[in-house]
Structure 1
Amino acid sequence: MRAVQLREFGAASLLYVGSADVPVPKAGEVLLRVKATAVNRADCMQRQGKYPPPKGESEILGLEAAGVVEQPAGAWKVGDRVIALLQGGGYAEQVAVPAPLCMPLPEGMSFVDGACIPEAWLTAFQHLHFTAGVEAKDSVLVHAGASGVGTAAIQLAKMAGAKVVATAGSDEKCNFCTKYGADVVLNYKTLGGKFGTEVREATEGKGVSIILDCVGASYFSENAKAAAVDCRWINYAFLGGSQLPDGTDLRWLFGKRVNLHFSTLRSRSLAYRESLVSSFASKALPGFLDGRLRVVLDSKMPLDEVQKAHERMESNENKGKIVLTVEE
């Protein structure tokens, strides 16, 4: 089968489309004919040698896919159109995946749009519902609001009835966040990265009760300023570094009883991921059918343009998801 390969760890230019063996499904796994997959930051990190796949999983990049069942398992039948959360292997013509990690492609949705859902939306859903327990009374600060996870988090938080404050790095991206439901959007560049006071003003001086942070160390002090008492602060990436600056005072969090969580998805147990997919499929997936939730597609490219797709991701130009079409 055709699959994206890597000559060695490093730049996007080292990616190419080559040949790989068709995966052999284990008991309880379906074999999918992949129609589309999507690019995630984790793919770029794995390409750089900074984020290896879990032991025993495919070395091929790709954490999500939309496609057709070729070899069935569980309740799935040959020909079923599905979207799937993967541990790897999505940048290929075929992939094996545990049956419970598949969800039905929403009626009328294209494979391209479907490929935008699994990784980003399940990540946001995990943070908001499994970790933070979001409720209508909450206020949520979403960093990188125009990203795939960011646009998903904005919509899911609004669906739960919460108030959303988002940050983004350009006026265009700020307007984009507003389009998808953010109540307040802050351009962190024009603020010089000092968003904490603005967040407190947007929440009547209280601060936010939930923070979804993919930036890390460089936002620590401003997040601490923006946090409300008993805030649930969830960090899921370190795009701004992992080393806290000298003089960082943890009493900033202690005094507010902040609950600081560090969260991943790929390393979770199969049982956890099955539970997450099941909950999302019942509580959130119907939102794509009735218009409460919308897929956010930045661009689509053929698999052969994987280098270009990774370069776009790393340029921070994208608004929403970058999709690779595997088979039209």
Structure 2
Amino acid sequence: MMEIQKAAELCFPQLLNSSCRKPTLHWSKAVLLNIVLSCISLITAALNLLVIISVSHFRKLHTPSNILLLSLAVSDFLVGLLLMPLEIFRNTACWVLGDVMCSVYWYLTSNITCASIGNIVLISVDRYVAICDPLHYPTRITLAKVKLSVCLCWFFSIFYWSLYLKDILVEPGRYNSCYGECVLIINDIAGIVDLALSFIVPVTVIIVLYMRVFVVAVSQARAMRSHVTSVTLQCSLNQANKSELKAARTLGVLVVVFLACYCPFYCYSLVDKNVVNDSSASFVVLVFYFNSCLNPLIYALFYPWFRKAIRCVITLLIFKHDSSEVNII
């Protein structure tokens, strides 16, 4: 009787000595959690798909800043489409997809999140140049340079994590202690390197650039209110106009929300180096992923062009002849 009960608690009852135990979450809580998180996953994928379609379709939106938003939306879309469902499945059920899919999951997770971080850094650089050096912005931040930067960002992410995760790519499931498990073990040295490259360096760059942007934006706003007539300042104000300042504020909100969702995960990793395998810490992982759902909501709240583009997509106006030439801005 005890053996039958023990077998019922295992992921693979036929493998008594090597099977993992099933998650202990009550079935009603598991169902509710799956429904809520699945809805968030679908909303995340749908909203970011709207961003991708909008920026890709309308020519007026093919600006350097929007190309960066497009790249960020691609990574956010993949989070909603792939990472959220797999993370939900990994924490609420036995992993039955095999060792190869486990390695693919960790590889995709690492690549997509790394690309998101890179995109946020590029957005910070774009706003820094636009606000702090507006006269040289058109020559320094061109469409070609931004596209190249985005490609390099994704390439670096793929290259870096291919080296970092080469062990599980060569030998899938090497860190799994039993069947029905999907874990990733990171040694101390690799963890320190990842903490520096994936958290400390990019976050420091983002904060420093946006502090500079904030200081310049405040000084320009004061100058506008006091009607300063200095030729140099007026020239600067003409270039860094209200739309640029508004874009900086909007993307500033995006960056702040990103850091608010991103920092808890790495702060927790300082306490628990294997945070990705700790089921009790799955909340901070999902909070990090939830940022991908918030980004398009920020666009909808602050960008009129995004709301117009959504209406065009939903009403199928994008299929009309020359709809891509419509002045959506």
Higher helix share: 2
Structure with larger Rg: 2
Pairwise TM-score range, normalised by the shorter structure: under 0.3
**TM-score between both structures, scaled by the size of structure 2:** 0.25
Structure ranking higher in strand proportion: 1
